[in-house]
């Protein structure tokens, strides 16, 4: 019997990305505390949250033997600081001013929980921003796009024009690293419905 895949996320971006891999899945929201621990480094933070999201949803399931839960978390890091979602315009201005004209890192972790294993991976992508004016930042805020995004921007949206280049995984910056996610799901024995080669 094939295992049921569940995505522990309400993010439409992660749902859309997982659809691209061709797996059938359901979504369940993971309601966890996402506060960063004192002195917690960014990689530990995103891996911990991805695991906690997946485990939280897995613990809610009645049929755990035939279920796999995928959790994911993304954070933006600049000069050692983790940028979450902005609280307001002032917060967005602070974040985007910090990112303006330089490189930052986007870390995305994925975790797959079953009844006997927890596997995970983390992907770091370097993103290079152009220099932004205050007017550009304020106008961008008015579009509402940055208001629920880590780092106060969406690379797949309007903010794509701010990005001079990236080194790493574009899909990871959006919210789910497709290559690494596909590898974890294959290792867990799931079969994609897409007619792709096994290479």
**CATH number, position 145:** 3.90.950.10
Residue among 67, 33, 169, 159 at smallest CA distance from 109: 169
Residues 112-133 pLDDT 10s? 999 889 999 999 999 999 999 9
Asked whether residue 199 is assigned to any structural domain, the reply reads no
Asked whether residue 45 is assigned to any structural domain, the reply reads yes
Residue among 26, 3, 27, 61 at smallest CA distance from 188: 3
Residues 139-161 pLDDT 10s? 999 999 999 898 999 999 999 99
Structure tokens at 161: 């024009």
At residue 197 the predicted structure's pLDDT band, cuts being 50, 70 and 90, is: very low
pTM of the model: 0.91
Asked whether residue 198 is assigned to any structural domain, the reply reads no
Helix axes 12-20, 178-187, angle to 10 degrees: 60
Which residues are known catalytic residues?
A: 73
Provide the mean pLDDT of the chain: 93
Asked whether residue 126 is assigned to any structural domain, the reply reads yes
Inform me whether the pLDDT recorded for 196 exceeds 60.
no
Residue 100 main-chain phi, psi, to 5 deg: -60, 130
Structure tokens at 88: 């307001």
Domain range enclosing 114? 4-187
Residues 13-36 pLDDT 10s? 999 999 999 999 999 999 999 888
> What is the Cα–Cα distance from 165 to 151, expressed in whole angstroms?
17
Asked whether residue 58 is assigned to any structural domain, the reply reads yes
How many independent structural domains does the chain possess? 1
* Res 199: pLDDT: 46
């Amino acid at each position: 019997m094939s295992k049921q895949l569940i995505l522990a996320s309400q993010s439409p971006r992660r749902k859309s990305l997982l659809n691209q891999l061709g797996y059938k899945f359901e979504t369940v929201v993971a309601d966890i505390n996402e506060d960063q621990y004192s002195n917690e480094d960014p990689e530990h933070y995103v891996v911990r949250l991805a695991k906690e999201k997946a485990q939280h949803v897995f613990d809610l399931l009645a049929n755990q033997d035939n279920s796999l839960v995928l959790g994911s978390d993304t954070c933006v890091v600049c000069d050692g600081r983790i940028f979450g979602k902005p609280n307001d315009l002032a917060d967005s201005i602070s974040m985007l001013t910090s990112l303006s004209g330089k490189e930052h890192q986007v870390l995305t972790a994925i975790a797959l929980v079953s009844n006997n294993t927890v596997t995970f991976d983390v992907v770091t992508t370097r993103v290079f921003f152009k220099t932004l004016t205050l007017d550009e930042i304020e106008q961008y805020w008015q579009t509402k796009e940055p208001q629920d995004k880590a780092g106060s921007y969406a690379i797949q949206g309007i903010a794509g024009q701010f990005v001079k280049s990236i080194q790493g995984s574009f899909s990871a910056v959006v919210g789910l690293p497709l290559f690494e996610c596909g590898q974890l799901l294959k290792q867990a024995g799931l079969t994609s419905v897409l007619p792709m080669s096994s290479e």
